[in-house]
Amino acid sequence: MCLVEIPAQLAAELTAHLQDTKSVVKEFVYCLLIRGGDMAPTLYYLPPSPPCRSILLLAKLLDLELDLKVINILEGEQMKPEFVELNPQHCVPTMNDDGLVLWESRAILAYMAAAFGKDDSLYPKDIRIRALVDQRLMFDLGTLYQRMAEYYFPTMFMGAPFDESKKAKLSEALGWFDAILKGRNYAAADQFTIADLTLLVTLSQIDAFGFDLLPYARIKQWYRRCKNYLEPYDYEDINGSQALVLAQMLRSKIEECSCLYAQDRNSTAAQTSSEVVLNASMARHAKNGCYLIFIVGTKEEIVTFRFKIVQLRPHNVDA
């Protein structure tokens, strides 16, 4: 609790003089003046992760300082005892705000907007409007983001072939979202909300992956509108550039897998079975919680592989 009430104008002037001050001192004074003595919330995150990007964007919108700690899940840092004690599910993003530990990005978004918003515009208090915001958050979590993950992540993380049925499911979800936007400038309210934020991050990743958005006119208009709204808040640095990082990972995996081939061994046995070799990337992700069942067959002297994903994504990546 802050012992002295400091006028907002004076606080702003004092904060402006801290630009050349050591970061530790700057953080202390920031917490004293702006947050009444409370330390900045700690965010455990990985920059390219779409759910993490949504948290960073909202922090910019709220002008909220975060104590950022990178957790490299590809190196297994999420399994360190101190992090597992903090979050038994050991996933990112995870936020610790003075002992309140939250994971699941959309829950974090709702908390941040309610706790640190200057007003309720990002997460309206009106019960009917908030219900729409919550519904859109769940639509992103359970449908749009999920279907993007089901289509792209098996290829990006494990080199599985693209599944056209999953592509059709993603197209279906985009069609539903396009219908939701009929007669609306934003997803849930008359203004930009956290529903738009999480949907925008998902849509930007779908776009970066190269999915054709041409059939979805309302989505394209909404997409442009939301990007323009967030442009002053480091949108490209936080989200746009990191979406391209994942897109490059996908392209690299496609190129890597295109070099894999097998030749017919001119024997009856080769027609019914073939040796499967997991590359280093596949083995690493299997170890982290992505398990594969390989169904192998041969046709026209080319060994074909079908992959059944038992667990879609590493269990340490939040949705």
- Catalogue the active-site residues: 49
Dihedral angle sign, alpha carbons of residues 207, 211, 217, 219? negative
- Interatomic CA distance for residues 105 and 56, integer angstroms: 11
Beta pairing partners, 263:
302
**What DSSP state is assigned to residue 295?**
E
Both tokens assigned to 94: 């995870």
- Interatomic CA distance for residues 60 and 30, integer angstroms: 15
User: 258 CB contacts (<8 Å, ≥6 apart)?
Assistant: none
Burial class (CB in 10 A: 0-12, 13-18, 19+), 214: exposed
Cα–Cα distances in angstroms (integers) from residue 190 to residues 83, 131, 181, 184, 307, in the given order:
40, 14, 12, 8, 44
Can the peptide bond before residue 93 be classed as cis, meaning omega within 30 degrees of 0?
yes
Beta pairing partners, 303:
298
Both tokens assigned to 291: 């398990």
User: 150 CB contacts (<8 Å, ≥6 apart)?
Assistant: 163, 166, 169, 170, 312
Find the length of the chain. Answer: 319
- Interatomic CA distance for residues 63 and 122, integer angstroms: 13
Both tokens assigned to 176: 């539903």
Beta pairing partners, 302:
263, 299
Beta pairing partners, 307:
294
Write the DSSP string, 216-272.
Answer: -HHHHHHHHHHHHHHGGGTHIIIIIHHHHHHHHHHHHHHHHHHT---B--SSTGGGT
